[in-house]
Structure 1
Amino acid sequence: MRDSDINYNNTPTVLLSLQQQLGGEILAEENTRKLILNSETVSGQIRSVELQTGIITLDIDVTVLEDIKIQIDPIESQTLHFIYCLRGGCIHQFGTSEKQILIEEFQSGIAHDYKDMQSNILVKAGKQLTINVISVYQEMYFQNTENQSNLFAKKLQKLVSYIDTEPNHLHLGNYNLKIAEQIKLLYRVEHDTEITALLSQIGRYYIILANHIDQFFLEIDNPMNTSGLLKKELKKITELSDYISANPEIQHSIKTLSMDSGLSASKLQEGFKFMFDRTVSDFIRNIRLERAEMLIKTTELNISEVVYSIGLTSRSYFCKIFKNKYNCSPKQYKSNFQKNLKLSE
């Protein structure tokens, strides 16, 4: 669905404002709106989803050829912006304030806007920028009676009470690879239908938001980098995880991964534990199982062929670990999936 066909009443104000700032064309897919950019200044896309009344997401994935300013809050209201930079680095600025704060790759920030000073993201020419912004418009969100008593709203309210003492304040967080992985999955995971894709995305946005909140309260008492790893080491861990995810069939080992990355075995384990709550071996096993599930659902490969495709040699071992994760055998899983697919047609 293109610009001329869209019901703009269902398009977040922030996306319409960004279209005025940057140009481009808005496309609609279910509850998702995308601003497609292709100009001499900026190319790429900005995706927006309204999670619920008062909570809007922005996924900004652009290449910038000239210095630009992206105003992420066009509404004059008290707003919390949970910002995470996955790639490129950017600068946060309130209104026309001289104070500018760098948000680096893998770093989070929570901006608290007041009515007179909206948040801007400044991007330098030549940057490829990928950031996620989840905005909570406080008045709209907290006036909703359904949100006044749930645990999530109480955590948000507690966070506001800490930040509210400083108008137009940015809490710059530490590096956080857990959020990075969730954002990657927003782009990477394939789904059978647009509905399952949307539900999966919404779930991940709430996981990202929960991670921001948890990190904030951890850093109040301990402002040091809770991973114990340097930025360059964190970057190597995320590069390794991407490599393993793209090549699950390779016989990865601590030794070869250490040689490829230059990290010691203990640093590898520490990094994977911090990022995924898993050891390196557990991470590899889980990636293989997720790839196997996808192959079972989307190809005609038999179970033995699936086992070979993910780098395992023992069918009995594969069936055992698959059942532990999915509560049924691979054969039963395929049968159930095909049955449900026919019912939905």
Structure 2
Amino acid sequence: MEVFNIQGIFVKDILSELAAQFETSLTESLSEYKLELPKSLGEGFIQGINFPNGVGLLQFKGKFKKQVVFNFTSKKVHPLKFFYCLEGSLIHSIKPDGERRKIQQYQSAIISSYYHFGHIYKFPVDEYFNFQLVEIDRKAFREHINYKLEDIPYYFYKLFADVEGVREVFYKSNYTLHLAQVIKEIEEFDKDNLVRVNFLGAKALEALSLMLTKYEDDLKENNQQRILRKSEFEIVNDVENYIDQHLMNIETIDEISKKFGLSKQKLQQGFQLKHQHSINEYIKNKRLELALKLLDEGEKNISEIVYEIGLSSRSYFSKIFKEKYKVAPSTYLSSK
């Protein structure tokens, strides 16, 4: 096992210390720092940036071929961490003999340590990992906001007002599809210089807002939660497959919701995120795709096709078919 002790709590200091211990170089562009993991340890990189408003963005991506531990040992108040795991897993604790908590793929966590403790990250061996963190220097953040923290809900106040680090926080849950989309946008953004810095600053705040929205939603009873979790997205896939197989006699959205045990609102969220339109639009498009296939086969007349795709009105079918394909179904059929 190789343990790397780190005194710094902000991106520049953390990566500078690691670069020295790794005996590798550290690159910098407009205050965004990046270092490549040495081949003796594995492959990948660590990069990050801090902004004047107290918000920071940090990413760990790669694979270690031996046991590696990062031990953040500063006695100063560490930033409030909003952690999300895209791939792999990580063991977190705040002291060597403290509780070890595993954060794995599709999970997020809000983490704060006591001021006299730090953070310990234990990385997996020979397992690809990809972690993103939004980190909040609560003192700097408080100085940059133009409202009183006392005016925000108490469950948020407890997180952001603790500038002295008197309260430990570890809150883990599954992160949302919307958050996953934002992280993907951060990863895939390929501009540089000022454009990149501004983009990262905006996306860090967007990710923070989504994490806070999810945290607030998690505090509600299950039947009152409105945000689709990543873990629930598999149900959306199941619903999609069910619709594809039952177009002729598909139930109402309310009935489908009850059948699969996922609220109508969350089903709509899933279809909007995956297909950029509603469930009803998805069903209509699938019916039209099937109708086009049956017209191409030329073995059924239009009335038979209308029945097979689950519609009762031939005129309505003609209307939506022409809207999508710019030709009437009767004209299309006669051209075959």
Asked if 1:282 is matched to 2:281, the reply is: no
For 1:132, what is the secondary structure of its paired residue?
strand
CA distance in 2, matches of 1:84, 1:54: 19
> In structure 2, do the counterparts of structure 1 residues 201 and 62 end up closer, same or farther at CA, with 3 Å as the change threshold?
same
> In structure 2, do the counterparts of structure 1 residues 26 and 154 end up closer, same or farther at CA, with 3 Å as the change threshold?
farther
Contact 1:13 1:74 in 2 (8 A): no
Contact 2:115 2:164 in 1 (8 A): no
1:294-333 maps to which residues of 2 (within 5 A)? none
Q: Structure 1: any 5+ residue segments left out of the alignment? A: 1-9, 241-253, 260-264, 286-315, 318-345
What do the CA deviations read for 1:39-75 (whole angstroms, capped 9, x no partner)?
2223211111112243222111121111211246746
1:188 is matched with: 188
1:19-98 maps to which residues of 2 (within 5 A)? 19-20=19-20, 22-71=22-71, 74=74, 76-98=76-98
Please tell me the residue identity of whatever aligns with 1:140.
A
1:207 is matched with: 206
CA distance in 1, matches of 2:72, 2:207: 18
**Shift, 1:124, TM fit:** 1.5
Contact 1:227 1:274 in 2 (8 A): no
Identity of aligned residues (%): 15
What do the CA deviations read for 1:197-237 (whole angstroms, capped 9, x no partner)?
22222211111111111112222233799579886664797
1:83-232 maps to which residues of 2 (within 5 A)? 83-142=83-142, 144=143, 146-147=144-145, 149=147, 154=152, 157-160=157-160, 167-191=167-191, 194-222=193-221, 226=225
What do the CA deviations read for 1:109-150 (whole angstroms, capped 9, x no partner)?
0111122111222111011111111221223332x2x32527
What do the CA deviations read for 1:257-308 (whole angstroms, capped 9, x no partner)?
979xxxxx9779977744685462539x9xxxxxxxxxxxxxxxxxxxxxxx
Please tell me the residue identity of whatever aligns with 1:214.
T
Contact 2:84 2:132 in 1 (8 A): yes
> In structure 2, do the counterparts of structure 1 residues 13 and 216 end up closer, same or farther at CA, with 3 Å as the change threshold?
same
CA distance in 1, matches of 2:151, 2:195: 25
Of 111-120 and 147-156, the range deviating more from structure 2: 147-156
CA distance in 2, matches of 1:19, 1:171: 31
> In structure 2, do the counterparts of structure 1 residues 279 and 52 end up closer, same or farther at CA, with 3 Å as the change threshold?
same
For 1:40, what is the secondary structure of its paired residue?
coil
For 2:51, what is the secondary structure of its paired residue?
strand
Please tell me the residue identity of whatever aligns with 2:125.
A
Of 62-71 and 109-118, the range deviating more from structure 2: 62-71
Give the RMSD, CA atoms, in angstroms. 4.3
For 2:37, what is the secondary structure of its paired residue?
strand
Contact 2:138 2:163 in 1 (8 A): no
Contact 1:78 1:112 in 2 (8 A): yes
CA distance in 1, matches of 2:181, 2:75: 30
Contact 2:228 2:270 in 1 (8 A): no
Q: Which has the larger radius of gyration?
A: 2
> In structure 2, do the counterparts of structure 1 residues 40 and 28 end up closer, same or farther at CA, with 3 Å as the change threshold?
same
> How many pairs does the alignment contain?
258
Contact 1:83 1:110 in 2 (8 A): yes
> In structure 2, do the counterparts of structure 1 residues 74 and 96 end up closer, same or farther at CA, with 3 Å as the change threshold?
same
After TM superposition, the score normalised by the length of structure 2 is: 0.62
CA distance in 1, matches of 2:146, 2:75: 22
For 2:62, what is the secondary structure of its paired residue?
strand
For 2:167, what is the secondary structure of its paired residue?
coil
CA distance in 2, matches of 1:207, 1:71: 29
> In structure 2, do the counterparts of structure 1 residues 69 and 20 end up closer, same or farther at CA, with 3 Å as the change threshold?
farther
CA distance in 1, matches of 2:163, 2:221: 16
After TM superposition, the score normalised by the length of structure 1 is: 0.60
CA distance in 2, matches of 1:154, 1:171: 19
Q: Structure 2: any 5+ residue segments left out of the alignment? A: 1-9, 246-255, 282-322, 325-336
CA distance in 2, matches of 1:162, 1:272: 37
